[in-house]
């Protein structure tokens, strides 16, 4: 049992299901594949951000905040779920949409997560760059100062790497949930596969598993930056988590496994491997993946199987981190 001495707002339907993907396992003719359904966390159509937001909203409540501020890509799942979490906690929400993806068409700008942001009544701001985390966070602070001047009590959710990864605590907890589920069903999972973007989910799972004595391999599939840049980001988050939880560091450098073969052409841009993975999961299991995170992480998992890094006798757990609303903003990528 790991003590997590941080305030938490209950936002997530947990435990989420853990299911065997019998049809997909047969189609790939490789290892036995299972899926952790964190697309079923409940909040605002589900996704991994519900677990992360529990700790941010817990801190915001502790500070008596009445407004949440967050930044993300135009089709950000995090932004959509933060707006919903704010509403659930009777708070206002200001969201900042960054230009991370070079798309200006109406479908991308108005459908998917953006539509849900508007229905949630979030105040929407724009930030003209997409790879300027420090600048985006600084702009949130300027917006927060404006709100304070008007009498509001804002709480800023910073997503740059310079601060404590509060959201990763949600996946330290989720790691225990996974270990309990596979122990009850006697499923000896050898490999876990998860999208690695901000690194919070990846670092939280890896830290939580190692702190509980699990040697399960955790593969992060890069969806925003290459493996070299992502490795330091995940390692740094793991070090910070150990300090936050007042435990000895439990994650070694060799524990941080990353694959970036399915990253190109870049964040938020589909490739053929991701489109194939999305169709495979839908046609064989009736489960939808998203175009930014889980489509690419499923493609990465298939690549690891095809390349032999995950062998035919393995038992693999694929973490579905949600994001399905973004599919509607990418409808033109899947033909008529």
Say which CATH number the domain at 140 has: 3.40.50.1100
Domain presence at residue 3: no
The reply to whether 173 and 125 lie within a common domain is no
Residue 205, in any domain of the structure: yes
55 and 166 Cβ atoms separated by less than 8 Å: yes
| Residue 13 within a domain | no
- 42 and 53, same domain (yes or no): no
Instruction: Note whether residue 4 is domain-resident.
Output: no
- Examine the domain organization and report whether 247 and 300 are in the same domain: yes
Structural domain for 137, as ranges: 49-157
**Whether residue 180 is found in the same domain as residue 253:** yes
Alpha helices in the chain (DSSP H): 22-28, 49-62, 77-88, 106-110, 112-119, 133-149, 169-184, 200-211, 227-245, 272-285, 294-306
**Is 55 inside a domain boundary?**
yes
Say whether both 183 and 242 belong to one domain. yes
Indicate the SS3 state at residue 15. Answer: coil
Q: Which residues are catalytic?
A: 76
Q: What dihedral angle (degrees, nearest 10) is formed by the CA atoms of 260, 321, 210, 10?
A: 150
Tens of pLDDT, residue by residue, the chain (336 residues): 689 999 999 999 999 999 999 999 999 998 999 999 999 999 999 999 999 999 999 999 999 999 999 999 999 999 999 999 999 999 999 999 999 999 999 999 999 999 999 999 999 999 999 999 999 999 999 999 999 999 999 999 998 888 999 999 999 999 999 999 999 999 999 999 999 999 999 999 999 999 999 999 999 999 999 999 999 999 999 999 999 999 999 999 999 999 999 999 999 999 999 999 999 999 999 999 999 999 999 999 999 999 999 999 999 999 999 999 999 999 999 976
Residues 171 and 65 in one domain: no
Q: Are residues 132 and 281 in the same domain?
A: no
Q: Is residue 10 part of a domain?
A: no
**What confidence score (pLDDT) does residue 151 get?**
98
Please tell me whether residues 140 and 210 are part of one structural domain: no
Q: Which residues pair with 123 in a beta bridge?
A: 94
Cα separation of 274 and 296, whole Å? Answer: 5
For CA atoms 51, 281, 195, 270, the dihedral sign is: negative
289 assigned to some structural domain:
yes
pLDDT in the model for residue 336: 62
As a whole number of angstroms, the distance between CA 108 and CA 101 comes to 10
Task: Tell me, yes or no, whether 137 lies in a domain.
Answer: yes
| Residues 112 and 232 occupy one common structural domain | no
**Number of independent structural domains in the chain:** 2
Domain boundary among 135, 157, 179: 157
Residues in the chain: 336
- Shared domain for 176 and 303, answered yes or no, is yes
Beta pairing class for 92-98 and 123-127: parallel
User: What pLDDT does 159 receive?
Assistant: 86
Indicate the residue among 134, 157, 180 that finishes a domain: 157
pTM reported for the whole predicted model = 0.97
Say how far apart CA 238 and CA 205 lie, in whole Å. Answer: 10
Residues 65 and 190 in one domain: no
**Whether residues 84 and 181 fall in one domain:** no
Q: Which of 107, 123, 157 marks a domain boundary?
A: 157
């Amino acid at each position: 049992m790991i003590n997590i001495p941080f305030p938490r707002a209950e936002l997530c339907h947990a435990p989420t299901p853990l299911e065997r993907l019998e049809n997909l396992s047969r189609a790939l003719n490789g290892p036995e594949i299972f899926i952790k359904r964190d697309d079923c966390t409940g909040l605002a159509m589900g996704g991994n951000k519900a677990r992360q937001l529990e700790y941010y909203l817990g801190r915001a409540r502790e500070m008596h905040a009445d407004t949440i501020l967050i930044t993300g890509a135009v089709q950000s799942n995090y932004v959509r779920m933060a707006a919903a979490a704010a509403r659930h906690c009777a708070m206002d929400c200001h969201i900042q949409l960054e230009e991370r993806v070079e798309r200006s068409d109406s479908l991308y700008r108005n459908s998917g997560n953006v539509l849900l942001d508007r229905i949630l009544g979030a105040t929407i701001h724009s930030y003209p760059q997409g790879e300027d985390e420090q600048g985006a966070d600084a702009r949130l602070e300027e917006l927060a100062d404006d709100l304070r001047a008007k009498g509001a009590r804002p709480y800023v959710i910073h997503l740059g790497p310079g601060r404590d990864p509060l959201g990763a605590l949600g996946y330290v907890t989720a790691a225990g949930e996974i270990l309990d589920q596979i122990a009850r069903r006697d499923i000896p999972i050898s490999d876990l596969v998860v999208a690695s973007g901000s690194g919070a989910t990846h670092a939280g799972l890896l830290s939580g598993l190692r702190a509980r004595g699990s040697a399960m391999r955790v593969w992060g599939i890069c969806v925003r930056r290459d493996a070299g840049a992502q490795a330091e980001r995940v390692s740094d988050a793991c070090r910070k988590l150990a300090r936050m939880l007042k435990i000895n560091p439990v994650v070694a450098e060799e524990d941080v496994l990353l694959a970036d073969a399915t990253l190109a052409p870049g964040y938020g841009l589909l490739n053929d491997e991701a489109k194939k993975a999305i169709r495979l999961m839908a046609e064989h299991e009736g489960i939808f993946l998203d175009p930014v995170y889980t489509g690419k992480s499923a493609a990465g998992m298939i690549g690891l199987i095809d390349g032999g890094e995950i062998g035919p006798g393995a038992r693999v757990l694929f973490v579905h981190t949600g994001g399905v609303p973004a599919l509607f903003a990418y409808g033109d990528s899947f033909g008529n």
